[in-house]
Chains A and B, each alone.
Chain A
Amino acid sequence: MYKKIMYICSMTKSKLYKGSLQTIILKLLEQHDKMYGYEITKHVKALTKGDLKITEGALYPALHKLEAEGFLEAEIVNIGNRMRKYYKLTEAGTKETVSRLEELQEFIKNMQLMVNSKTALT
């Protein structure tokens, strides 16, 4: 029963985060010069103390979409026995990050208003 509740909670949480995944990636890349896929998942997990886990099936589609939109550019580096693809923000990506963060903050503000307002929920 406990496991089932935990699963439902994590499902709801992941749904809430899903729409913000691209913004999270952009924000992380704004703070770091360049990052690779695995590093992003680890970083998010560490920042949120394991509360938010970006799944592999969601991370790469989001990265590839941002790259195709011209917000990210890739850099391939030979790290010895394998190649590593690093992502970094383009000029358009830096502007997009600012606008998406503003949108997200606006959304959070409105959600807080909705949640805190007694009349809105009753």
Chain B
Amino acid sequence: MKLTEKHIEDLMLFTKKHYVPYYDLQMELVDHLANDIEELINANPRLSYEEAKRIAFKKFGVFGFQETIEAKRKALNKRYFKLFLSTFLNYFTIPKIAVNFSLFIVYYYLINIFSTHLKEFYLLSFLFVFIYNIYKAFNLKLKLKKKKKKWLFETMIDSSFTIIMSFNFIVQTVPLFLIEEFKKTSHNQQTLLFLSLFFMFYVIVMHIITYDMPKKISLIMQKEYPNYRAV
């Protein structure tokens, strides 16, 4: 027996009902269930489709698809981090490193000019980058929400919103102690150098999260899944 289009649609709905809303995972599970159902019915033609589906699903254990989905999420998190790391390291190769160095020099130059209002300048410059990236992340979130098919790997882009929020908290609080120290001590250049370096890293990380990673994930998905649409 060969399952029909209707059966496949039913299996898609079945996986969705069992907490697998992601197409990249649904597709694989549906094929597995379909293969098993076909074989079960071929071995015992008196078995109904619904009965065979129940038997096939039972083989996934008491937690159903949960173990599979969790393992896939874990694996994709790892893949995301690897991709992030390689993209980050790529920023320190020629010619990108020249752009970073220019950004560092410009910020260092400006921070020296505004050293009397260091705290205000620091907070304003970070706020500017933060708002710009929040805007980008928000747009991405909207774009993903509009899509009919949900893809598990794309949820990693969505979570960039959370990363930006938590990262910004660190950025705003930690160097503020340094600025206070800068005021107390003899206005040493080391603090300004550190703040400029910190700003450069902040801009790079934010750019990777909101620009490079969504673009790279989209390219990977297009390469791996023929029915993937970026928009």
* Chain A interface residues (CB < 8 Å from chain B): 36-38, 55-57, 60-61, 64-65, 67-70, 74-76, 78-79, 81-85
Contact = CB atoms under 8 A, between A and B. Distances in A.
Interface in B1-39: 3-5, 8, 27-32, 34-36
A82 B60 contact: no
Nearest to A36: B31
B169 interface: no
A38 B32 contact: yes
B148 interface: no
Interface stretch (B42-50, B72-80, B210-218): B72-80
B68 A74 contact: no
A68 B224 CA distance: 13
Contacts of B72: 60-61, 64
A67 B91 CA distance: 26
B63 interface: yes
8 tightest Cβ-Cβ pairs between the two chains A and B: A61-B71, A68-B75, A64-B75, A38-B35, A57-B61, A60-B68, A68-B79, A68-B78
Interface string B46-88: 0000000000000111010001101110111011001000000
Nearest to B6: A81
Contact of A82 (B30, B61, B78, B226): B30
Contacts of A57: 59-61, 63, 67-68
Contacts of A70: 82
Given A38-B32, A61-B67, A64-B71, A85 B27 contact: yes
Contacts of B4: 81
Contacts of B226: 76, 78
Nearest to B34: A82
Secondary structure of the B contact surface, majority rule: helix
B27 A82 contact: yes
Size category of the B interface is 20 to 34
A43 to B, nearest CB: 13
Contacts of A67: 75, 79
B177 interface: no
A102 B94 CA distance: 40
B28 A65 contact: no
B128 interface: no
29 contacts: A38-B31, A56-B59, A56-B60, A57-B59, A57-B61, A57-B67, A60-B28, A60-B32, A60-B72, A61-B71, A61-B72, A64-B68, A64-B71, A65-B71, A65-B74, A65-B75, A67-B75, A67-B79, A68-B75, A68-B76, A68-B82, A69-B78, A74-B224, A76-B226, A78-B227, A81-B8, A82-B31, A84-B31, A85-B27
Nearest to A70: B82
Nearest to B5: A81
Contact of B27 (A56, A65, A76): A76
A79 to B, nearest CB: 8
Given A61-B67, A64-B75, A79-B31, 20 more contacts: A38-B32, A56-B32, A56-B61, A56-B68, A57-B63, A57-B68, A60-B32, A64-B68, A65-B74, A68-B74, A68-B75, A68-B82, A69-B78, A76-B224, A81-B5, A82-B27, A82-B31, A83-B31, A83-B225, A85-B28
